[in-house]
Amino acid sequence: MWKAVILIGGPDKGTRFRPLSLNQPKPLFPVAGVPMIQHHIEACVAVPNLQEIILIGFFPEDENLKNFINHCRKEFNISIRYLREFSQMGTGGGLYHFRDQIMAGNPSGIFVMNSDVCCNFPLSEMLKFHLKYASPSNSSTILATNVPSKESMFYGCLVENEETKEVTHYVEKPESFVSPLINCGVYLFSTKIFGMLAEAVLRNQEEMYAQGVFSDSLSLSLEQDIIMPLTDLGSLYAYQTTSMWSQIKSAASAVYANKLYLSLYHKTHPHRLAKSEEGGPMIIGDVFIHPSAKIDPTALLGPNVTICADVRISAGVRVRNSIILNEVNLSNHSCVLNSIIGWKSTIGEWTRVEGTAQQPDPNAPFAKIVSGSLFDHEGKLSPSITVLGGNVNVESEIVVLNAIVLPGKDLKSCTKNQIIL
Ligand code: GDD
């Protein structure tokens, strides 16, 4: 029996995702038509004998989160629950704090996943690899992928023995190049990790005691307190993937992840991809349309477009490479390119909301392939897409280019390369 834990962080995390994380927890932001972490959950459900999925974070358990969990329980007929950290406990602290709940039922191992990665989550393949290469009761498996050398330093970097697949060296976000093979933030851990976490807690307590610092806060790092000791013990194995993988840190990277997940739907959920049909809008490439959206047949959508629930799209509208969130209204002949339009926003007639999809410069240092052309080398909010927060009203016949607009704003004139606070 296996279990899965998804680390969803909390309100202090996801700052690079603002203003979109102001309205709802970032892990619930829709990418390719479903909340970001539903992609993780769907992958878990496909693993034979995976019996429970536990979300660990420090978000308040609001209606959004409750509704999402209830929806997934019903849809996937699996036990899913949210365990809330009383304060931010780091990537390893929640695993330790909730160890009894995680270990209930005596699972053979635990998948752990970062919520902010976009991936085809080859969990069943990882499991097969784990049973073949690792010694499942003692060893753990990490999902790894190759990235360009200069980019690798933004991630955990690992070196493996190519024959045995054992990880021989691991450095978290090194200052100089170590290896192009990086940690994808997806693991299959042996239950031995709880002993390691207990040792880390003891070490921290001893250090605090020696320094005369007394605190009841618990913070552990999955990378420092599990991955590195596992590597030292020769108990970590790398399963390499050459399939899609990217982080979702900024709003721009969500547009890129949207493109990746839509392309994955050809294999996993072809029914989620819209097609041009008589009486419907013209569709180019990969497009998701929520069934409740109302779209004029003269609209032209795609490629790489997600239209969420209750959106209204009028005559002659063009949308490309964009995410249109719930209840947005795109008026006649408006055009949205390389953008995210926030919940309940309104775009006036003949208005153009656009980001610049720059062609990647192959000679640029730190060109970030995992992000395509849509975000800068540090993965920060790129000026190359336009993001409108919720309830933004853009008047008719204006142009909004490469702008970030905070929720509730009323744009009456053209704007370019600006952050509208
Ligand atoms: N529950 C909980 N509590 N989750 C947390 C906390 C916390 O205190 N802090 C972070 N997380 C979650 C985040 O929501 C995210 O899903 C994941 O843990 C990792 O977040 P970061 O700490 O921001 O790490 P990172 O994304 O910069 O780097 C990690 O992931 C990379 C792959 O995406 C590292 O593991 C890297 O080595 C790795 O390459």
Tens digit of each residue's pLDDT (9 = 90 or more) over 303-312: 999 999 999 9
Quote the pLDDT of residue 379: 43
pLDDT (0 to 100) of residue 363: 45
Which of 146-155, 211-220, 364-373, 395-404 has the least mean pLDDT? 364-373
pLDDT at res. 133: 81
Q: Where are the alpha helices (DSSP H) in 193-277?
A: 193-211, 222, 228-232, 251-268
Whether 145 lines ligand 1, by a CB cut-off of 6 Å, is no
Residues contacting 50, CB < 8 A, separation 6+: 1, 2, 3, 4, 44, 78, 111, 123
Q: Average pLDDT in the 392-416 region?
A: 95
CA distance 18 to 337: 20
* pLDDT in the model for residue 320: 96
Q: Which of 12-16, 192-196, 230-234, 333-337 has the lowest mean pLDDT?
A: 12-16
Q: Which of 130-144, 205-219, 227-241 has the lowest mean pLDDT?
A: 205-219
- What DSSP state is assigned to residue 382? P
Asked whether the bond before 383 is cis by omega within 30 degrees of 0, the reply is: no
What residue owns the CA closest to ligand 1's atom 30?
Answer: 185
pLDDT digits (tens, 9 = 90+) for 49-71: 999 999 999 999 889 999 999 99
Best probe residue, ligand 1, of 37, 114, 172, 186 (max atoms within 8 Å of C-beta): 114
Q: Is the pLDDT of residue 370 over 60?
A: no
8 CA closest ligand 1 atom index: 14
Distance 13 CA to ligand 1 centre (A): 9
Kindly state if the Cβ of 101 falls inside 6 Å of ligand 1.
Answer: no
Domains of the chain: 2-247 (3.90.550.10), 251-420 (2.160.10.10)
| Whether the CB of 179 sits within 6 Å of ligand 1 | no
Residue that is written with structure tokens 């339009």 in the block: 341
Q: What are the pLDDT digits (tens) for 215-271? A: 777 889 999 999 999 999 999 999 999 999 999 988 888 999 999 999 999 999 999
Token digits for 62?
């609001």
Which atom of ligand 1 is least distant from the CA of 57?
1
**7 CA distance to ligand 1 centroid (A)?**
7
> Mean pLDDT over all residues of the chain?
90
Please report which confidence band the pLDDT of residue 22 belongs to, taking 50, 70 and 90 as the band edges. confident
Residues 201 and 172 sit within 8 Å (Cβ to Cβ): no
Residue nearest to atom 4 of ligand 1 (CA): 9
Please identify which residue in the block is written with the tokens 């024959």.
163
Do residues 384 and 259 make contact, with C-beta atoms less than 8 angstroms apart? no
Ligand 1 centre to CA of 309 (Å) is 30
- Residue of higher predicted confidence among 150 and 144: 144
Q: Which amino acid is at 198?
A: A
Report the nearest atom of ligand 1 relative to the CA of 156.
37
Q: 376 alpha carbon to ligand 1 midpoint, in Å?
A: 20
3-state secondary structure of 366: coil
Ligand 1 atom having least distance to the Cα of 6: 16
Res 149 pLDDT > 90: no
71 CB burial (10 A radius; 0-12, 13-18, 19+): middle
Q: How far is the CA of 114 from the centre of ligand 1 (A)?
A: 6
Contact 90, 12 (CB under 8 A): no
Which residue has the CA at smallest separation from atom 39 of ligand 1? 155
User: How far apart are the C-alpha atoms of 33 and 11, rounded to whole Å?
Assistant: 22
Mean pLDDT along residues 25-32 = 95
Rounded-to-integer distance, Cα 330 and Cα 387, Å: 15
57 CB near ligand 1 (under 6 Å):
yes
Strand positions, DSSP E, 30-161: 30-31, 34-35, 50-57, 79-84, 109-114, 117-119, 140-146, 156-160
For residue 75, report the phi and psi dihedrals to the nearest 5 degrees: -65, -40
**pLDDT score for 41:** 98
Answer yes or no: is pLDDT of 118 > 90.
yes
What is the model's pLDDT at position 207? 83
The answer to whether 252 and 339 are in contact (CB under 8 A) is no
- pLDDT of 77: 95
> Is the model's pLDDT at 376 over the cut of 90?
no
Say whether 403 sits in a helix, a strand or coil: coil
Ligand 1 pocket test: which of 7, 171, 187, 220 has the largest number of ligand atoms within 8 Å of its C-beta? 7
Q: Give the model confidence (pLDDT) of 267-318 as tens digits.
A: 999 999 999 999 999 999 999 999 999 999 999 999 999 999 999 999 999 9
CA 384, 304, 10, 6 torsion-angle sign = negative
Q: At what angle do helices 38-45 and 63-76 cross, to 10 degrees?
A: 20
pLDDT at 14: 64
| Cβ-contact 231, 170 below 8 angstroms | yes
First to last CA, the chain: 50
Residue 5 has pLDDT above 60, yes or no: yes
| Ligand 1 pocket check for 7: Cβ under 6 Å | yes
Percentage of the chain exceeding pLDDT 90: 78
pLDDT at 366: 34
Instruction: Kindly state the tokens that stand for 344.
Output: 């309940």
Q: What is the pTM of this model?
A: 0.93
Nearest CA owner, ligand 1 atom 13: 9
Instruction: Check if 115 has its Cβ closer than 6 Å to any atom of ligand 1.
Output: yes
pLDDT at 21: 82
Q: Quick check: CB of 253 below 6 Å from ligand 1? A: no
Given a cut of 90, is residue 134 above it in pLDDT?
no
DSSP-assigned beta bridge partners for residue 157: 171, 182
State the angle between helix axes of 193-211 and 90-97 in degrees (0 to 180), rounded to the nearest 10.
110
| 272 secondary structure, DSSP code | G
Residues 281 and 328: their CA atoms lie apart, in Å, by 17
pLDDT value for 216: 72
